[in-house]
Amino acid sequence: MKILSKADVFNAIQQARSLTEEQASTFLSKFCQDQPAIGQMLLAGFPMAIESQSKKMCQVFMDTCFDVIYVYKQVFGELPANVVSAQWLHQKMTSMEGDIKAQTQVNEHGQVDLKDQAQIELLEFIGLVIHETAGKSHAQQVAGGITYNILFMVTRLLDNIYEEFMPDTVH
């Protein structure tokens, strides 16, 4: 898997943040139309898990998840339509969850510590956004830990999808 550089992450996020609301909405609509299983999981299923903890962190998740999707598309290219099924995603998430638990530890904020994880630059950006939003509120820090961990899973999932279905673009 190609490791994203700081420049890759910065440039793609800068492009994502420069989109108009209409352009961002069009991008997200196309992504969800082309990738309904991924869109459903990332933009409906995961936010529900966060929203019960914090509506503010749920919004941070949605905004940051958009950034992550945009980074992968800009750096690695557009996925073929309907590249994965809901069943494949569920199976992959279950497998990844076990692998991640075995390979990682959790820090004092409840966030996954990065040992040998691929997308360190992107995960550092995610961590900064969440830390800035959570501030000193214990409840927001807890919700931020959950949000970070789910976004960590999103990056690992996208790594796996690109690696398995578009191997020529990620090496």
Q: pLDDT digit string (tens) for 20-33?
A: 999 999 999 999 99
Question: Dihedral angle at the C-alpha atoms of 164, 168, 170, 171, nearest 10 degrees?
Answer: 110
Find the helix packing angle between 138-165 and 120-134, rounded to 10°: 160
Q: In this structure, are residues 63 and 42 in contact, taking their beta carbons and an 8 Å threshold? A: no
Scan for tokens 């494949």, then name that residue.
88
pLDDT band at 110 (very low <50, low <70, confident <90, very high): low
Measured CA to CA, the distance from residue 123 to residue 125 in angstroms comes to: 5
How confident is the model over 62-107, as pLDDT tens digits? 999 999 999 999 999 999 999 999 999 999 998 887 766 655 566 6
pLDDT band for position 50 (50/70/90)?
A: very high
What does the buried/exposed string (b/e) look like for 128-161 if buried means 16 or more CB atoms within 10 Å of the residue's CB? ebbeebbeeeeebbbbbbbbbbbbbbbbbbbbbb
C-alpha 5: how far from chain center = 16
